[in-house]
């Protein structure tokens, strides 16, 4: 139980003051830390050491504004999951711990012009089984396409564009991906052979753990205007993909943690926790990590692009209709584990910053040039995946999100250990319960099924309600699962 100071400074806003000296009494916070939460969530937030981790982040060189934590905050390696921190592009640092192992883990939402009345339960079952067949999932899921080293390098340098050029997707898809599916700063030469070998084996696969592929129904519309712009309406069928950069990203993170651990010593940076290992953004080590991370991010966009292609093919196969005729357009694609260079106003001054989001989503409000033209007048869609059996949400980014470097939450956040969940539930029983709720599940493994049972997470509804109440991102639509492919 964490016992540090949390001062309520506004609706849904709790602050750890700069004067807090930490559990060991030796912290020197450069900025305060701010946690978005409801009263009800505080006990579970204090249960693990996540607030202390937010305070730790606030001690890092070059941090500006505040160290933020979203309501789905929970303990992570170094930085808390649900954390947002921005560092000065001249004086600041960059840290792999602020991004996470699964670089560009993210969410993609595809809409259709199908409605719930168009699909029988039997058809949904067929669709899920077809998706399971076409999209590799589960522990050790292997790639179904073989890429040469040259092709992997092209994926790393070009991102989703590579996939479109190879015929995996539609030209319009790129416009609806964050960064248009490619961070141009990426440099494949800074990614190790090992990472590339892992990537080769896994490109276009879902993976395991909390990753999923889901057929959903739009259950509720909260904001008619925004829903219309995003192409969403009640009872419509959507498909959501939640996955990241697979072993390639994990390897990039491991490789650079080793390098940055050394750099921390070399540049004489004091850190309260070894896992915050970082390097100045202008240092060779820092620059290299950033470019390699961007390459891993590009791999993740390609991964989701390949999956979208197979999702469209699966629908075509089962429903015997073209994906174009089914209106299977991408609503949007967000990443929730990433560091990016962005401009933000801090204390009235425009600054170039390295924004780290680890378990947090970029939320650009209206009029930002980086979001698709069609959405520009209302702001970017923010996609919040639920967990197996629970609802997912589409939110709308408001300019109010700028107070947190244009960021929002990313999901629910775990409250129970995976082993605890496994002991408490049996995977097959959970599948039965879900089936009764009208959700058909095809898991790669019944164990994962138990580990990822919805009760192991905080309620995603509570999390988005805090963001809505705080005004950073507001609710547009809620989707509930009809069929799930679990990794």
Footprint on this chain of another protein (rule: CB under 8 A)? 48, 74-77, 81, 101-102, 138-140, 142, 194, 197-198, 200-202, 207-209, 247, 250-251, 253-254, 257-258, 261-262, 274-275, 277, 414-420, 444-448, 451, 487
Going by their DSSP bridges, the two strands 212-221 and 407-408 should be labelled as: unpaired
Looking at the chain, the number of H-run helices and the number of E-run strands are 13, 19
Among 59, 58, 62, 54, CA closest to 35: 54
* Residue 4 exposure: Cα atoms within 13 Å on the Cβ side: 29
CB nearer to another protein: give 160 or 448. Answer: 448
Nearer to another protein, 164 or 421 (CB): 421
Query: How many residues can be counted in the chain?
Result: 487
**Chain centroid offset of residue 341 CA:** 17
Nearer to another protein, 4 or 80 (CB): 80
Both structure tokens of 167: 């015929």
Residue whose CB is less far from another protein, 336 or 468: 336
* Smallest gap from residue 202 Cβ to another protein (A): 7
Q: Smallest distance from the beta carbon of 193 to another protein, in angstroms?
A: 10
In the complex with another protein, the residue whose CB is nearer, 86 or 306, is 306
Compute the least distance from the CB of residue 48 to another protein, in Å.
5
Query: CB of 244: closest distance to another protein in angstroms?
Result: 9
From the list 178, 175, 172, 168, the residue with the least C-alpha distance to 203 is: 168
User: Cβ closer to another protein: 164 or 296?
Assistant: 296
Answer for the pair 367, 443: CB distance below 8 angstroms, yes or no.
no
**Max alpha carbon distance in the chain (Å)?**
66
Alpha-carbon distances, residue 466 vs 35, 225, 335, 409 (angstroms): 11, 21, 20, 9
Cα 61 from Cα 313, distance rounded (Å): 49
What minimum distance in Å lies between the beta carbon of 82 and another protein?
A: 12
The closest alpha carbon to 64, from 344, 268, 276, belongs to 344
- b/e per residue 430-467 (b: at least 16 CB within 10 A): bbeebeeeebbbbbbbbebbbbbbbebbbbbebbbbbb
Minimum distance, C-beta of residue 255 to another protein, in the bound complex (Å): 9
Q: How far is the CB of 47 from another protein (least distance, A)?
A: 8
Residues designated as active site: 410
Q: Tell me the C-alpha distance between 49 and 173, whole Å.
A: 40
Contact 160, 153 (CB under 8 A): no
């Amino acid at each position: 139980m964490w016992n540090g100071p949390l001062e309520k400074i506004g609706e849904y806003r709790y602050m750890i003051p700069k004067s807090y000296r930490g559990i060991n009494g030796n912290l020197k916070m450069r900025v305060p830390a701010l946690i978005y939460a409801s009263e009800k969530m505080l006990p579970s937030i204090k249960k693990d050491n996540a607030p202390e981790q937010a305070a730790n982040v606030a001690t890092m060189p070059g941090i500006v504004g505040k160290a933020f934590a979203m309501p789905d905050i929970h303990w992570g390696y170094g930085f808390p999951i649900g954390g947002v921190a921005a560092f000065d592009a001249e004086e600041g640092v960059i840290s792999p711990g602020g991004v996470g192992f699964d670089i560009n883990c993210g969410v993609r939402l595809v809409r259709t012009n199908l409605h719930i009345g168009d699909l029988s339960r039997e058809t949904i079952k067929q669709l899920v089984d077809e998706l399971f067949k076409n999209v590799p999932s589960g522990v050790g899921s292997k790639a179904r396409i073989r890429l040469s080293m040259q092709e992997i390098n092209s994926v790393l340098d070009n991102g989703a564009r590579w996939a479109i050029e190879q015929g995996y997707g539609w030209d319009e898809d790129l416009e609806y991906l964050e960064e248009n599916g490619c961070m141009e700063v990426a440099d494949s030469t800074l990614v190790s052979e090992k990472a590339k070998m892992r990537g080769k084996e896994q490109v276009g696969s879902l993976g395991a753990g909390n990753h999923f592929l889901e057929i959903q129904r739009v259950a509720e519309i909260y904001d008619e205007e925004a829903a219309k712009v995003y192409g969403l309406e009640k009872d419509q069928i959507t498909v959501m993909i939640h996955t990241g950069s697979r072993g390639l990203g994990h390897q990039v993170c491991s490789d650079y943690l080793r390098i940055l651990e050394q750099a921390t010593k070399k540049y004489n940076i004091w850190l309260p926790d070894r896992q915050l290992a970082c390097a100045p953004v202008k240092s060779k080590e820092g620059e290299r990590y950033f470019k390699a991370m961007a390459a891993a991010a590009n791999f993740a966009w390609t991964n989701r692009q390949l999956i979208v292609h197979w999702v469209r093919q699966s629908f075509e196969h089962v429903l015997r209709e073209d994906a174009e005729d089914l209106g299977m357009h991408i609503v949007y694609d967000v990443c929730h584990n990433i560091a990016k260079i962005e401009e933000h106003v801090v204390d009235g001054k425009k600054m170039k910053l390295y924004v780290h989001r680890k378990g947090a989503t970029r939320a650009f409000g209206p009029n930002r040039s980086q979001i698709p033209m069609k959405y520009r007048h209302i702001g970017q869609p923010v996609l919040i995946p639920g967990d197996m059996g629970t609802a997912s949400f589409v939110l709308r980014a408001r300019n109010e999100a700028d107070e947190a470097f244009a960021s929002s939450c990313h999901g629910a956040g775990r409250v129970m250990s995976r082993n605890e969940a496994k002991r408490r539930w049996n995977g097959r029983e959970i599948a039965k319960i879900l089936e009764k709720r009208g959700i058909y599940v095809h898991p790669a493994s019944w164990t994962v099924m138990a580990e990822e049972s919805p009760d192991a997470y905080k309620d995603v509804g509570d999390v988005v309600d805090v963001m809505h109440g705080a005004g950073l991102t507001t609710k547009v639509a809620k989707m509930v699962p009809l069929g799930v492919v679990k990794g």
